[in-house]
Amino acid sequence: MDSQVSNGSSLEAEHITNLLVFGFLQNSKYNFNQELEALSQELPVQVYLDADFEDELQTDGSRASRSFYHGRIQPDSESQESAIQNIARRLAQVGDEMDHRIQPTLVRQLAEQFMNTSLSEEDRRNCLARALDEMKTAFPRDMENEKAMLIMTLLLARNVAKHAPSLLHDVFRTTVTFINQNLFTYVRNLLRNEMD
């Protein structure tokens, strides 16, 4: 972990942030199972669908098995992945309590911007950054700024995907890149604290 670059440009950073954002969406109060399943097939890391998925009864009467998708994964990273899932779960719980702070008009505007296929990835990140700037007054005063910004970033992604599920892939990718560029040091510290 100490070899990670603080700006999040390493493969390790990408792996951590992919799992964090995926875990946040997976622990959402909204049902993104179909979209997450499709997204998981494109990720360069192994991700698991929610453990509750294991117990779902299928339409043919059989039980669903725990689904996983193949990708690059290091054998010693199981405890790290578990820690990331725990962090994502807790962030999603806090996010559910903060969800009312996000204005629906802001979500609609951001979704419309993401639907513009002529926007570059950098343009999308800038749109996300502007939306976060507009929301800064809604950040809880008793929460450290980086934590509030991380949760609000994840909430914006989740709400845009809820508003327009077809945007999940683009929103996911932009969110991962945004977090790696702006909040990865904070994410890395959360992970270190979780694993201590």
Q: Is residue 120 part of a domain?
A: yes
Confidence (pLDDT) at 47: 60
pLDDT in tens, 102-149: 999 999 999 999 999 999 999 999 999 999 999 988 888 899 999 999
Is residue 130 assigned to a domain? yes
Q: Is the residue at 55 inside a domain? A: no
Q: Looking at residues 53-66, what average pLDDT do you find?
A: 37
pTM metric for this prediction = 0.79
pLDDT of 44? 67
Mean pLDDT, all residues of the chain? 81
What is the span of the domain harbouring residue 131? 11-28+76-195
- Provide φ and ψ at 73, rounded to 5°: -155, 140
- Report yes or no: 101 and 138 within 8 Å, Cβ to Cβ: yes
E strand or H helix at 34: helix 33-40
Helix (H, G, I), strand (E, B) or coil at 68: strand
In a domain? residue 189:
yes
Which run of H or of E encompasses 146?
Answer: helix 145-163
CA distance 65 to 80: 23
Note the pLDDT of residue 64: 37
Examine residue 113 and state whether it is found in any structural domain, yes or no.
yes
CATH code at position 127: 1.10.437.10
